[in-house]
Amino acid sequence: MFKTIADPADCEVRSVIRFLKANNVKPAEIHCQLVEIYGENVITDGMVRKWVRQFNDGSTNDHDEARRGRPSVVNDGLVAKLNAKIRENRRFTIRMLCDEFPQISKTVLHENVTNRLNYRKR
């Protein structure tokens, strides 16, 4: 038996599906081969069938499409304003910053203050 490959990239698995589909292998057999090589939790049979359908419809992209979503409101200019506001009053709280920057959520503010600006609680 072959040695299983742990944690394959999604695009790698889809490339294998695309290759086997080009060789006219049935979706059920593709799933069996994937499970044999990558392990039980690689991909479901239904997802294999979905990707085979997409490749039959002419898709050649092995990667996920860009997803729609809410764009980030935090940019470098806003981070600079945030930094300036913190330097005005070093005894700031996240709640005070929420009042000053209502367009940014409390969680995103905290993340930017700690990760991007590297401020810590003292």
At residue 43, does pLDDT exceed 60?
yes
State which fold the 10-57 domain adopts.
Arc Repressor Mutant, subunit A (1.10.10)
- 74 has pLDDT over 60: yes
Q: What integer is the mean pLDDT of 85-100?
A: 90
**Entry pTM:** 0.54
What b/e sequence results for 52-91 when a residue is b if at least 16 CB atoms lie within 10 Å of its CB, and e otherwise?
Answer: bebbeeeeeebeeeeeeeeeeebeeeeeeebeeebeeeee
Domain range list for the chain: 10-57, 76-116
In this prediction, residue 60 carries a pLDDT of 83
Give the sign of the dihedral formed by CA 73, CA 74, CA 77, CA 79: positive
Q: What percent of the chain has pLDDT over 70?
A: 96
Q: Is pLDDT of 67 > 90?
A: no
Banded pLDDT at 4 (limits 50, 70, 90): confident
CA 55, CA 17: separation in Å to the nearest integer?
A: 9
Mean pLDDT of the region 6-13: 87
**What pLDDT does 70 receive?**
72
Inter-CA distances, 47 with 27, 42, 97, 105, Å: 10, 10, 45, 36
Q: Mean pLDDT for the chain? A: 88
The pLDDT of residue 88 is above 90: yes
